[in-house]
Every structure is written in C-alpha cells, then in structure tokens.
Structure 1
C-alpha cells in the first residue's frame, strides 16, 4: 500500500508542477485584483480559482487566494517572485507564492490516544492529505508498530513537565534534521513552551477536545459533564503561547443528553476530534487559510 501511495505522490507532483497558489493580505483599496490578474497573465498563467474577502471596504484588510496554472513554472519562478515585488510594494501586501508540487514536510506528535493519528494516516494513504509525513514523535511507544509498518520514522521521546526543556531540545533537533514545515498535534498531551512555538509560527496545528472557547485546558469532557452541556465539540487551531487560544481553523459539535456519562462523551468526542483535525490539516495543506490577528480566513 505504501508503494502505491508513493507512486500517487510522485504522479501528483508531476501533474501539478506548473500549478501554484498566491495568498495575499493587504489594506483594501481599488485595483488589487486587476493588478494581480494582469501580472499573472503576463506570465501566461491561467487563473483556475480565485477567492477574496474584504473585512471592511473602508479601512479594513483584503484577502485573496488565487490558484493558477503557469506553463513552464519551474523555469519561471526566478522571475515570477521578484517581478511581483513591485505590485506588492504598491499595495502594501503581505504575500506568499506556494507551489503545489512542493509537498509540506510534516511531523505528527501523538501521545497515548491514537484515533486522530489513525485518521490522518488513513486519509494520507488514500490521497486525501497530500503531505510528506517525514516523522512521527510520541511520548508513548504504543504507535511504533503501526507507524513503522508504513515506512515512517518513529521517535519515542518520554516527556513530562520536569524534563520539558530537555525533551524539546531533542524534538527541535529532529524537526530541523527532517526539514519540517508543519507540525500536527494529534492529541499530543504535553504543553509546548514559547521557545518551541516561536520556531514554527502558524505551522503548528492542534486539536482540542472541546468547542472553544469553552473548557480551555485539561479534562474538558469531565468539566462538560459536570456543567450538563447538551452539545460537545472539538476545535482545531494554530498553536500560540496562550493555551488553546490560537487562531481557530475548524470546529465541530455533536448533541448529547443527560443519559451520557463522561465515557460516553469521550467516545462521541473522538469522532468529532478526528474529523475536525483532518479538515483543518487538509485546508492548511491546500493553502486555504490566512491568519489575521487571532482569527483565520478559510477559503472554501
């Protein structure tokens, strides 16, 4: 199965070698879309998809996601990006070109519960999540057999708050060696330090097992049960130094009732968690997310 998937990856990259996405955030003003479209046309690019959003036409920010096909793109890159700088300057743009054939090198962090990890691996094997899973890191050894059966490097690094700095030093070394561009916390039950997070701004995606901002922190299902909630949920967000308060990418909920005990809430929640995390990761991989302050713009 892994060999088939590697073939799929290679075919995907080959078929998309001329495809790229342009993400833009800038102050709203007339002429932005026309200027960008004209520029891409000058490189014989065909715009396949264009989504835009204005926070407020009078003084707000403007966001664009454009996906385009450009014949000979690998050879044109060296002129495309420097050439766009003049337009970016004029409109005061924060922007980035992302190339579809450059799959993001990804590390998945997991603890004892594996339902989110298994969902990610399943969708990865089926070609739903186009990423290069470079390694999986865990503070439990339980997932080793599953991960290594797929040919993915597995690193067991025991962790707790007493040795957190030592652990993160090892983890950061591994991430650097693998050239990691995206970290997915698939129910990794350790708090990351500001030093760790600062190395990967807007590149760490977490799944929290509650419908944030309700029940931030530990034991949310127990606290939801004690409060007698009628809806439980899960939230996938980018990690910041504020616990469970980073920009939200995706959320999901499910109805529960007074008959459901804590164990029932956890079982129901597992399905929500894994689907919410998988959607958030997919949208990140497809460059559909732009962060604005502590919010996200997610283009469908």
Structure 2
C-alpha cells in the first residue's frame, strides 16, 4: 500500500451523496485514496470523515484546496487538508514530574510521534539538563501569584515566535488563565491523573485510594477555560486491589499517564481527532 501524502478532514450536516462527491473530487485531481474512515452521529446529525490519499507530483495543500472548493461549497463542508510530511511543532510544558516528558522525548526521537519539539517550558529548573542533552531550548518561567500574568505573556510570545502548532502539558502543575485557554483553543493537550470526569482537581490518586477504587486511570484532553472539562481524546486504566497503597496507585498512574498522553498527541498530530461538540471523534 502506498504511503499517503495528504489527509483530508471533513465535517458537515449529514446527508446523502457526501462520500461520493468527496471521492470524485479527489479522483478528479489525479489523487488516489489510501484509507477512508467516516462516522455519522445520529444524535447531532453531523457527519465526520477522514481521508488519506496520494497526490500527483507537485501537488500542495493549496492546489488541492482550490480543486476541492466546489464540493466544499456544495455541501457546506468544514474541512482541512494537511501535508503528512510536515511534522507538528510542539512546545512541552512540565513541572517536577518528568515521566510524561521523558516518554514524549523518546517517542519523538524514535519517530513514533510526528513532532518537532521547539522548546521545553517549566516553572522549575529540574529538567534543564535533560533538555540540554537533547539539544532542546529550555525556558524557566517561575510562577508566583505576583508573576503569573507576566510569565504567561512571555509564554504566549514564545509560542508565537516558535510558530508552535501544539502545546503539551506534560504534568505542568499550573492552571492556564481563561484568556490563554481561549487564545490557544484546540492547541493545548493536558494529561490528567485520573479518569475524568471522576476525581477532578488536586490529589486525585489520594482521593481515589480513600474511596477504595479498583482501577486508576489517566485522561488526555483538550484544555478549555473550564478546568478539567475539555473534550477527551484518550483514556486508559490499570487495575489495583485492596493491598495497594496510595503510593502504589501513583506509580501505576504515572505509567498510565505517559501512555495515554503519547496516544493523544499521536492522534492529534496524525490529524485523527475531530471535535463533535464537547466530545471528540478519534479515527483509528
């Protein structure tokens, strides 16, 4: 099977003829479909589609888009086309816990994650040496109630300067302001150390242990101004029993967090995630 060059994402009100029209438009531009996935949501009446395809020599996202416009207009499509050879530019934010950071860096170096890490931002100096080992710029932005707004402006400036596509909160233990969340909407993925919507907020493992849960989980979600309420991208759990301590739950949870965050980042950067109101459609 040929490796696809592009991916097309489409959403619209569900109706007859959408798939045929899109396929015909792709074929008319001398492209070949490699993989197609689609979903019709009966509750919202929305249709979602992800198509990967190869294109002729010299094709760009811009030239494909011009040829696709008639179909997009006819069906009132919301659509995006991406060049799969272009890696997402990612800025990673971390505090003291480095398990997610280390997994992301390893997955990026090995090529499993299609990202280019532009820099690491932290409110602590703990991971500077790790960043320097990888040759990645490290920005130390300490946070206090008095400096939070100023440091957030510096963060936004770095995001703009580095032309960042994605911000990954890899156990960054600071809450972004509502204005920052709105400015970066759809570009920030957070890992929460529990299975949302349960045990939101601080110390979820301790509260889970107090409740005697039989599994602990992790949730990766998009960040919104509503704390821990953003659309969920990926989740997973690990089993525990009555003999496990709160520290055991934390250790198991950290392993799950790394796995879930990497899975969510990969899905986002491969353009497999589409928003459906407060939910997501995640194509395999």
Candidates 104, 108, 133, aligned match of 1:120: 104
Q: Which residue of 1 aligns with 2:171?
A: 187
8 A contact 2:217–2:256 mirrored in 1: yes
What TM-score does the superposition give when structure 2 sets the normalisation length? 0.96
8 A contact 1:289–1:297 mirrored in 2: yes
SS of equivalent to 1:192:
coil
Q: What's the Cα RMSD here?
A: 1.5
Alignment map for 1:147-166 (pairs within 5 Å): 147-166=131-150
SS of equivalent to 1:250:
strand
- Gaps of at least 5 residues in structure 1 are 1-14
Q: Which residue of 2 aligns with 1:286?
A: 270
Distance in 2 between the 1:68 and 1:171 partners? 36
8 A contact 2:29–2:67 mirrored in 1: no
Distance in 2 between the 1:213 and 1:267 partners? 21
Alignment map for 1:1-300 (pairs within 5 Å): 19-56=5-42, 60-74=45-59, 76-300=60-284
SS of equivalent to 1:133:
strand
8 A contact 1:160–1:190 mirrored in 2: no
How far 1:161 sits from its partner (Å)?
3.7
How far 1:94 sits from its partner (Å)?
0.8
- Residues 289 and 59 from structure 1, CA distance in 2 versus in 1: closer, same or farther, beyond 3 angstroms? closer
SS of equivalent to 1:149:
helix
- Gaps of at least 5 residues in structure 2 are none
Distance in 2 between the 1:161 and 1:279 partners? 33
Distance in 2 between the 1:213 and 1:77 partners? 38
